[in-house]
Amino acid sequence: MKILITAGPTYEPIDPVRFIGNRSSGKMGIAIAEEFAKAGHEVVLVIGPTEAHPTVPTIHQIRVQTAAEMFEACAQYFPQSDVIVFAAAVADYTPKYPSSNKIKKKEGEFLMELIKTKDIAAELGKQKQAHQIIVGFALETDHELSHAQEKLQQKNMDFIVLNSLRDKGAGFGGDTNKITIIDKDGNVTKFDLKAKTEVAKDIVQYVNKTLKRN
């Protein structure tokens, strides 16, 4: 199969030295990419700015910086992909007027106008074909289940991987994760805290189960 995966953060430039970003390491998306690649699938990994990198040489990496660049890369590979995993932590907003020069420090408040970035999963979800499986991720801090279910429906996904910053060992940066998978039929499957490499195996197995069911 042809697999498209996003991973890592995006950096939205404020000026040449500052940006809006987040703490995503890209490790979860990379682990999923490696699991698919080891199974012999053709994997394209669109990855934001992070020091992490896959070790499986057959993975085709596309390095990007911004949400706009990530969308362009995904839009190119989406139509021919059988499975799409949106694991990246894409910035929701980007500066409307990024400065070409370093912004000097000023007294008092500094106000910056932001505009919404393109929602990659939602936009490409509108183009979903019958044979495609779309997997999303939701990192939440409150009302986790309801927020994840809403995201699942709005973005035309087959299932969504939820993790909560309330769970110790889950979230950005670390080598472990604790997930709950919710599918479009309302089924909820909870998993224990595991290494991200093991979590990746659970997600790939769930993809395979979804393919068989469809």
Asked if residue 42 belongs to a domain, the reply is: yes
Asked if residue 173 belongs to a domain, the reply is: yes
**CATH number of domain containing 142:** 3.40.50.10300
Asked if residue 90 belongs to a domain, the reply is: yes
pLDDT confidence tier of residue 158, bands split at 50, 70 and 90 = very high
* pLDDT higher than threshold 90 for residue 105: no
Asked if residue 105 belongs to a domain, the reply is: no
What pLDDT score does 110 carry? 85
Q: Looking at the 3D structure of the chain, how many domains does it have?
A: 1
Tell me how far CA of residue 133 lies from CA of 3, 83, 85, 169, in angstroms: 10, 5, 8, 28
Q: What is the pTM of this model?
A: 0.93
**Whether residue 22 lies in the annotated active site:** yes
Tell me how far CA of residue 105 lies from CA of 16, 59, 108, 176, in angstroms: 14, 43, 9, 39
- pLDDT (tens digit per residue) in 119-155: 999 999 999 999 999 999 987 767 788 889 999 999 9
Among 50, 38, 59, 34, smallest CA distance to 88 is for 50
How large is the greatest C-alpha to C-alpha distance in the chain, in angstroms?
61
Asked if residue 163 belongs to a domain, the reply is: yes
Asked if residue 102 belongs to a domain, the reply is: no
Q: Evaluate whether 171 touches 139 at the Cβ level (below 8 Å).
A: yes
Asked if residue 103 belongs to a domain, the reply is: no
Asked if residue 6 belongs to a domain, the reply is: yes
- Residues contacting 107, CB < 8 A, separation 6+: none
Domain range for residue 204?
Answer: 2-97+110-213
Considering the chain, what is the average pLDDT of its residues? 92
Residue with tokens 């309302």: 186
Rounded Cα gap, residues 90 and 99, in angstroms: 21
Q: Collapse the DSSP code of 69 into the 3-class scheme (helix H, G, I; strand E, B; otherwise coil) and give the result.
A: helix
- pLDDT (tens digit per residue) in 6-19: 999 999 999 999 99
